[in-house]
Amino acid sequence: MAPNPCATRWNSWFTAVQYHSEHFGLYKEFIEKEIDTCGKTTPQSVERLHEMLQDPNMAESLQVQISIMANKCRVLIGLLDIFQSRRPIVTKAFDYLEDLHMKLEANKDLSYETCAEYFEGLDLSFAIKMQILNRVEQAYINAEDKLSKYISDGQPAISFLKEVRVFDPRHIAFMSDSVSSYESIPGFSDVPKNELDAYFTRLGPAAVHAAACGVVDLDIFWDGLKERLPILSGLAIRYKSVIVNSADAERSNSIYKLVLSSRRRSVTNDNLKALVFLYHNQRLASGAFEDKDFEEDFESFDEA
């Protein structure tokens, strides 16, 4: 079956598009057989699809648009997976947003040559092809405009995301070595000048130089500097693992909703917390936290 997109899972929409792109060539025959089987009880949605696919221009236009989106959305799928993961990425978050902004901006002015592969083997007029390209360009323009606002002043924490990169030694080459430049990081004003100087001039560059491929393990690096840079390392240890998404909070609400079912309206607060604790750790141990079948998993847990 084709994936069913979920409103709260952005990647589900993109994976659905990729599925449709892969199987688009089968749809016309499948829908025709579906209509033959259903007869007079054919759903209106199926009839509408049949009508659209019977029009060669409409069918080929849809195929091209779906193919373009299926290809272009790979970057977004990768980034969404990163942002929704449990891995600490706060020191990289702003860089990811900047890279995405550049990709969106680069695709705002698409030429026919760059998209010629999507039109191969299709009998579309030049006017329809340009109409499709203009639609894709407009989508990129809208996305780039929205992201520009987000990374300028639309995200209240954007200054923090810019400044927190200082805790990754790979970034210090292009960042300020002044304590006053990090006003959005709570407690940074307490960092002694000599600690910041030692980090910028000696310890940070040395760690990058010694690391394989220049990738520094921040946990090991800052744990090893607790005695030499007590204030700065304390802040780094606190902020380098800040979560940049609300996925766990949303999952927690979902778990509470499932645990506090109609059969458990008299459960005490202490027992409710204990049940949520057990359910959370069961799913964590099984590695199933990325699954979307909360209800099915909970039913098996409840029976146990």
**Whether residue 97 is found in the same domain as residue 133:** yes
53 & 124 share domain = yes
Residue 164 lies in a domain: no
pLDDT tier at 256, thresholds 50, 70, 90 = confident
Residue 90 resides in a domain? yes
Q: For 62, list phi and psi in degrees, rounded to 5.
A: -65, -40
The dihedral region occupied by 171, where left means phi > 0, alpha psi between -120 and 50, and beta the remainder, is: alpha
Q: What are phi and psi of 6, to 5 degrees?
A: -115, 135
In a domain, 271, yes or no: yes
Answer yes or no: do 124 and 41 share one domain.
Answer: yes
Distance separating alpha carbons of residues 268 and 249, to the nearest angstrom: 21
| Sole residue written with tokens 């004003």 | 189
Domain that holds residue 257: 247-303
DSSP the chain: -----BTTBHHHHHHHHHHHHHHHHHHHHHHHHHHHHHGGG--HHHHHHHHHHHSHHHHHHHHHHHHHHHHHTHHHHHHHHHHTSSS--TTTHHHHHHHHHHHHHHTSS--TGGGGGGGTT----HHHHHHHHHHHHHHHHHHHHHHHHIIIIISTTHHHHHHGGGGSGGGGGGS---GGG-TTSTTGGGS-HHHHHHIIIIIHHHHHHHSGGG---HHHHHHTTTTTSHHHHHHHHHHTT-----HHHHHHHHHHHHHS-GGGTT--HHHHHHHHHHHHHHHHHHT-TT-S-HHHHHHHHHH-
* Cα 20 to chain centroid, rounded: 21
Q: Is 33 exposed, middle or buried (0-12, 13-18, 19+ CB in 10 A)?
A: exposed
Instruction: Answer yes or no: do 23 and 149 share one domain.
Output: yes
Residues 255 and 299 in one domain: yes
The 10 Å Cβ neighbour count of residue 19 is 15
pLDDT value at 291 more than 50: no
Q: The pTM is what?
A: 0.77
Residues 115 and 77 in one domain: yes
pLDDT of residue 293: 44
Q: Are residues 16 and 107 in the same domain?
A: yes
Among 221, 239, 257, residue at a domain's last position: 239
Is position 1 within any domain?
A: no
Mark whether 43 and 123 lie in a shared domain: yes
The per-residue pLDDT for range 6-31, each reduced to its tens digit, is 877 788 999 999 999 999 999 999 99
User: Based on the domain organization, do 78 and 188 belong to the same domain?
Assistant: no
The last residue of one of the domains, among 208, 223, 239, is 239
Please report whether residue 160 resides in a domain.
no
Q: Are residues 88 and 195 in the same domain?
A: no
Handedness of CA 38, 39, 41, 47 (dihedral sign): positive
State the average pLDDT over residues 283-293: 59
Q: Which residues contact 259 (CB under 8 A, 6 or more apart)?
A: 267, 272, 275, 276, 279, 298
- Examine residue 5 and state whether it is found in any structural domain, yes or no: no
Question: Is residue 300's pLDDT more than 70?
Answer: no
Q: Is residue 2 part of a domain?
A: no
**How confident is the model over 208-221, as pLDDT tens digits?**
999 877 788 999 99
My answer on whether 47 and 25 are in the same domain is yes
What percentage of the chain has pLDDT greater than the value 90?
59
Q: How many domains does the chain have?
A: 3
Q: Is-contact 203 225, C-beta < 8 A?
A: yes
End of a domain among 192, 221, 239?
Answer: 239
pLDDT in tens, 145-190: 999 998 887 888 899 999 999 999 999 999 999 999 999 999 999 9
**Do 100 and 194 sit in the same domain of this protein?**
no
- Mean pLDDT of all residues in 221-245: 92
Q: pLDDT digits over 58-95, tens only?
A: 999 999 999 999 999 999 999 988 888 778 889 999 99
